[in-house]
């Protein structure tokens, strides 16, 4: 896994790409806040999307949406200050982290870490998802 900071000007593209690439895949969404610590907002629920709204404006926000038992659910980070992404070598799993100026940290992980490929494994660039 390699984590990299996302340059500010690339946020809309990378965040949108992450949301589209992992839409419908099982996700974990966790929120760490200074006042409440870390809590899981969802686990093993289909990701619906991630949206960077009003990029570059003072009221910018990033919203993550997932399919919950009673319908769709979401969480929004107001005034994001930092974004990073980590991708595993399985062409399936990835983690997006958004940190706010107020100290909140939202982590969205799509795909299980257990699907890592052996180091040095060569693929043809196409990995088929397993059918349920």
CATH number, domain at 93?
A: 2.70.180
**Pairwise CA distance, residues 99 & 34, whole Å:** 12
What is the reported pLDDT for 87?
83
Inside any domain, residue 126: no
Does residue 131 belong to any structural domain of this protein?
A: no
- For residue 80, count CB atoms less than 10 angstroms from its CB and return exposed for 0-12, middle for 13-18, buried for 19 or more: buried
Name the average pLDDT for the chain. 85
Within-domain flag for 53:
yes
- Look at residue 116 and tell me whether its pLDDT is greater than 50: no
Q: Is residue 123 assigned to a domain?
A: no
Q: What is the span of the domain harbouring residue 47?
A: 2-111
| Residues 6 or more apart whose Cβ sits within 8 Å of residue 101 | 79, 80, 81
pLDDT in tens, 15-71: 999 999 999 999 999 999 999 999 999 999 999 999 999 888 988 999 999 998 888
Residue 89, pLDDT above cutoff 90: no
- Determine what percent of the chain is predicted with pLDDT higher than 70: 81
């Amino acid at each position: 896994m390699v984590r990299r900071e996302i340059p500010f000007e690339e946020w809309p593209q990378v965040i949108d790409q992450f949301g589209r690439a992992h839409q419908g895949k099982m996700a974990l969404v966790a929120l760490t806040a200074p006042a409440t610590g870390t809590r899981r907002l969802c686990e093993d629920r289909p990701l619906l999307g991630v949206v960077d709204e009003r990029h570059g404006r003072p009221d910018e926000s990033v919203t993550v949406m997932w399919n919950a038992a009673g319908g769709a659910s979401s969480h929004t980070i107001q005034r994001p200050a930092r974004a990073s992404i980590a991708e595993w070598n399985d062409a399936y799993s990835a983690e997006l982290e958004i940190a706010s100026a107020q100290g909140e940290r939202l982590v969205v992980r799509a795909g299980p870490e257990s699907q890592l490929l052996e180091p040095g494994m060569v693929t043809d660039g196409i990995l088929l998802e397993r059918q349920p």
